[in-house]
Structure 1
Amino acid sequence: MSTLALRTRPAWDLDRWVRDFFGPATSDEWFGGAFTPAAEILRDGDDALVRVELPGVDVEKDVNVDLDRGYLVIHGERRDERAEERNGRALREVRYGSFRRSFKLPAHVTEDAISAEYETGVLTVRVAGAYRGAETKRIAIENK
């Protein structure tokens, strides 16, 4: 990479320096930025299940599930504070960051079709009838 290219990307250089100095942690973990929780979408009959891993998150206080212009939006904030004492020294670690995941829904889905529950670190959002009418339909081709 040329010297000119390095001069035009000072933030990249700072990120690289921080990673090299502090180790492999991402800049989000060090500076409290966003993180992306793991998510999966499963089919349960005509329903879609969106499962998002949010261990240790207070879902009642820090998580929102919204229907916004045809998108299922799951967003909130993670806060994790730990304190311990080792060899007579106090160690306190604070990590935080916002997150946002969004999933396009079929046009026929309304808010009444969406429900959510949280159990053992996993938020599960059920979208009833999301796959209704999603069968593949073959179109005949006319040969003229």
Structure 2
Amino acid sequence: MSTLSLWTRRDPFAEFDALFRAARQPRGFVPAAEVERDGDDALVRLELPGLDAERDVTVEIDGGRLVVRGERRDERTEERDGRSLREVRYGSFRRSFGLPAHVTADAVTASYDAGVLTVRVAGAHAGSGARQIPVTTGTAAIEQPAA
């Protein structure tokens, strides 16, 4: 036999949790990104339509991370009958991606074409292939490396 309850106990922290989650939601413009492997290189593409890449976008290496930041500006001043509908987001954005320790700024190039920023990180996957580790059997002890 199972018991079914027709009421739910109210969580006193539910409203606080909802407010906290809402505060952590990104506001403004957050560009879509994709990361893919191209041989030993990593390609990061961000959709940035309508931006002036030279004026509004910065690509840099900071603390072992690839950081792309910028701003989509709303420079329109006209209004029509006092009404407007906006589905395009404006504002500052920042996206960051972890990098292997061996990557330097010299390995990074960026280009912008048809609203897409493409960042190539040369050699990001170099030496990252799988390596098989031999497994010993029996009572053989694992040797500790010399200190």
Give the TM-score taking structure 2 as reference length: 0.70
Cα distance per residue 1:16-46 (max 9 Å; x no partner)? xxxxxxxxxxx96xxxx33321101111111
Is residue 36–residue 42 contact of structure 2 (8 Å, CA) maintained in 1?
yes
In 2: Cα distance, 1:71 partner to 1:10 partner: 31
Counterpart-to-counterpart distance in 2, 1:43 and 1:49: 6
RMSD across aligned C-alpha pairs, in angstroms?
2.8
Higher gyration radius (CA): 2
2:5 is matched with which residue? none
Could you report, residue by residue, the CA deviation over 1:55-76 in whole angstroms, capped at 9, with x for unpaired residues? 1112111111010111000111
User: Unaligned regions of 5+ residues in structure 2, if any?
Assistant: 1-8, 139-147
Q: Give the conservation status (yes or no) of the 8 Å contact 1:81–1:95.
A: no
Instruction: Give the deviation of 1:122 after TM superposition.
Output: 0.4
How far residue 10 of structure 1 moved from its aligned partner, in angstroms, is 9.0
Partner of 2:58: 64
Residue identity matched to 2:71: E
Contact 2:32 2:47 in 1 (8 A): yes
Cross-structure match for 1:80: 74
SS in 2 for 1:57: coil
What TM-score do you get using the length of structure 1 for normalisation? Answer: 0.71
- Distance in 2, Cα, partners of 1:95 & 1:11: 22
Unaligned 5+ segments in structure 1 are: 16-26
Alignment of 1:7-22 (within 5 A): 8=16
Instruction: Judging by fraction of residues, say which structure has more helix.
Output: 1
Q: CA–CA distance in 2 between the matches of 1:6 and 1:133?
A: 47
Q: Does residue 36 in structure 1 map to residue 30 in structure 2?
A: yes
Task: Name the count of aligned residue pairs.
Answer: 125
Mapped to 2, the partners of 1:68 and 1:78 lie a distance apart of 22
